[in-house]
């Protein structure tokens, strides 16, 4: 039986893993390769590395880390952050990444999804969406690290992304991110019901039950950062908990 | 030495690294002489079926693969590389494959399943083989694909996963082997499978 996935996310800046709360107040945590290996041994199903470095020179440091991660771990991993053209996809895939996550650049140029899917296969194109609830009961797509509202409807954008060839949608709820009050169940349920590609829920994990809740409404995977980095939740404990909740998971 | 066929279908380094984990020396190549001399050949691949076949043609590798398979050399296809071993695929049209294993590559059609079949699924043994030594039903491997193999003879399937249908995970017909999932990305279970692969070479 296909299992639900637990995905630790590592934000990388200048070669180190950091974690922001509501995208601000970023603090240093650890070495990405070591942390990646640790999570892999704990039973993480995939890893996501987001490059949050701002400058072009630092991109090379990041590519070097992608190569080191690929050498050190034997589970799939996704690279995101700063991906704006097909050439960026090629660079990180050739460095050993399995998937590439694209966010703001795809909003500006939706054809990027199609081009990348045709060139490298839909399976490696993850459309990442930062969504925030508006006053009308729907969700808007935000770009530039959650700073700018595009006014685009998040659900329509997810559907369009699927039609353009994305293999997966990662939906990050800005309202929930970093506040540890649970994932946005309503948004995740709507997307899971509507789309035929897998959904990764992101933003809001605080306790083990939060994971069970979002996986039960239909998300195929749940992504989190700080609860894992600060060892508030061990992935092995989480897998046992989810198993007891009758959610299919892979336990190591 | 194990030849990993380089035909422009994505990164092959991960396969190379995983071979190293089990003490196998890989070489990423499209040199026909190297393929002829190799102890075994691995055909990896991600992307679209028709593009992959087109690239095999472009690099003039099909005759070399055919000749090596005919003389009994072990060929292991991984992911899309496994799908190429079959007669044809219906991915975005109808395209001929290498025809080492009778059968077709078809799309998942069940309603209410997510496509691609993406993530960790467990292997169910269909028939005993040294390839699945020390592999049990609680052992999960990493799949990512939208089309699956539908072999003429299900006895060519060594292990499968359940996803609306029985999805062939490991297939074998004589010296031709295929793995639909990624052993190089399947943690310790993937390593065990590559160890098993190593043992059948000796």
Contact B118 A252 (CB under 8 A): no
CATH fold for domain B2-201: Rossmann fold (3.40.50)
What domains sit in chain A, N to C, each tagged with a CATH number?
5-244 (3.20.20.70)
Give the minimum alpha-carbon distance from B37 to chain A in angstroms, rounded to a whole number: 27
- Extract the tokens encoding A64: 């070097």
Substitution target from B118, B161, B167 for chain A, most A beta carbons within 10 A: B118
Q: What percent of chain B has pLDDT over 90?
A: 93
Please report residues of B whose CB lies closer than 8 A to that of A96: 11, 13-14
Contact B121 A1 (CB under 8 A): yes
Nearest Cβ partner for A123 among B144, B163, B184: B144
Cα B163 to Cα A81: distance, rounded to the nearest angstrom: 32
Nearest Cβ partner for A1 among B116, B162, B182: B162
Q: Other C-beta atoms within 10 Å of A28: how many? A: 10
Residue range B29-58, pLDDT digits in tens: 999 999 999 999 999 988 889 999 999 999
Q: What is the pTM of this model?
A: 0.95
Cα A199 to Cα A190: distance, rounded to the nearest angstrom: 11
Where in chain B are the domains? 2-201
The phi, psi pair for B92, rounded to 5°, reads 55, 40
Nearest Cβ partner for B191 among A70, A74, A96: A74
ipTM of the complex: 0.94
Contact A96 B14 (CB under 8 A): yes
Integer angstrom CA distances of residue B177 from A13, A36, B73, B90:
42, 31, 11, 21
Average of per-residue pLDDT across A191-199: 97
**Lowest-confidence segment of A198-202, A222-226, B85-89 by average pLDDT:** A222-226
Burial class (CB in 10 A: 0-12, 13-18, 19+), A87: exposed
Cα B15 to Cα A80: distance, rounded to the nearest angstrom: 22
**Could you say which of A13, A130, A210, A220 is catalytic?**
A130
Residue range A211-234, pLDDT digits in tens: 999 999 999 999 999 899 888 999
Q: Residue B154 gets which letter from DSSP? A: G
Contacts of A229 (CB under 8 A, 6+ apart): A8, A17, A19, A29, A30, A35
Average of per-residue pLDDT across A79-103: 93
- Extract the tokens encoding A146: 């959650």
Assess B145–A contact: CB distance below 8 Å, yes or no: yes
**Could you say which residues from 36 to 65 on chain B have a Cβ atom under 8 Å away from some Cβ of chain A?**
46-48
Is pLDDT of A22 > 50? no
Is pLDDT of A19 > 70? no
């Amino acid at each position: 039986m296909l299992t639900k996935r637990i995905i630790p996310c590592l934000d990388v800046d200048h070669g180190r893993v950091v974690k922001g709360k509501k995208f601000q107040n970023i603090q240093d945590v650890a070495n990405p390769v070591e942390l990646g290996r640790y999570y892999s041994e704990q039973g993480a199903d995939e890893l996501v590395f987001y490059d949050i470095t701002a400058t072009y020179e630092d991109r090379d440091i990041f590519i070097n880390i992608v190569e080191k991660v690929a050498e050190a771990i034997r589970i799939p991993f996704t690279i995101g952050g700063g991906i704006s053209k097909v050439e960026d996809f090629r660079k990180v895939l050739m460095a050993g990444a399995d998937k590439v996550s694209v966010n703001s650049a795809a909003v500006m140029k939706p054809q990027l999804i199609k081009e990348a899917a045709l060139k490298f296969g839909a399976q490696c194109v993850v459309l990442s969406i930062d969504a925030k609830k508006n006053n009308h009961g729907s969700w808007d797509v935000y770009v530039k690290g959650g700073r700018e509202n595009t006014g685009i409807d998040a659900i329509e954008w997810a559907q369009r992304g699927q039609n353009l060839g994305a293999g997966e949608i990662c939906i990050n709820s800005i309202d929930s991110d970093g506040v540890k009050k649970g994932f946005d169940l309503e948004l995740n349920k709507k997307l899971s019901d509507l789309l035929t590609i897998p959904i990764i829920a992101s933003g809001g994990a605080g306790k083990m039950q939060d994971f069970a809740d979002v996986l039960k409404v239909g998300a195929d995977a749940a992504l989190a950062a700080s609860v894992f980095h600060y060892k508030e939740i061990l992935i092995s404990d989480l897998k046992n908990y989810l198993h007891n909740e009758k959610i299919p998971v892979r336990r190591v | 030495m194990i030849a990993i066929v380089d035909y422009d279908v994505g990164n092959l380094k991960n396969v190379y690294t995983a071979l190293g984990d089990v003490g196998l020396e890989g070489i990423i190549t499209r040199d026909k002489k190297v393929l002829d001399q190799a102890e075994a050949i691995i055909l990896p691949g991600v992307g679209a079926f028709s593009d992959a076949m087109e690239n095999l043609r472009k690099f003039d590798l099909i005759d070399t693969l055919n000749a090596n398979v005919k003389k009994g050399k072990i060929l292991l296809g991984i992911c899309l590389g496994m799908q190429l071993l079959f007669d044809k695929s219906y991915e975005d049209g109808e395209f001929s494959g290498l025809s080492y294993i009778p059968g077709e590559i078809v799309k998942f059609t069940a309603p209410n399943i997510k496509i691609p079949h993406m993530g960790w699924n467990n292997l169910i043994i269909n028939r005993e083989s040294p390839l699945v030594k020390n592999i049990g039903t609680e052992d999960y491997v990493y799949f990512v694909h939208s089309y699956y193999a539908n072999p003429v003879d299900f006895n060519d399937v060594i292990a499968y996963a359940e996803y609306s249908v029985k999805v062939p995970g490991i297939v074998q017909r004589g010296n031709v082997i295929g793995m639909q999932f990624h052993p190089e990305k399947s943690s310790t279970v993937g390593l065990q499978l590559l160890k098993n692969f190593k043992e059948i070479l000796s």
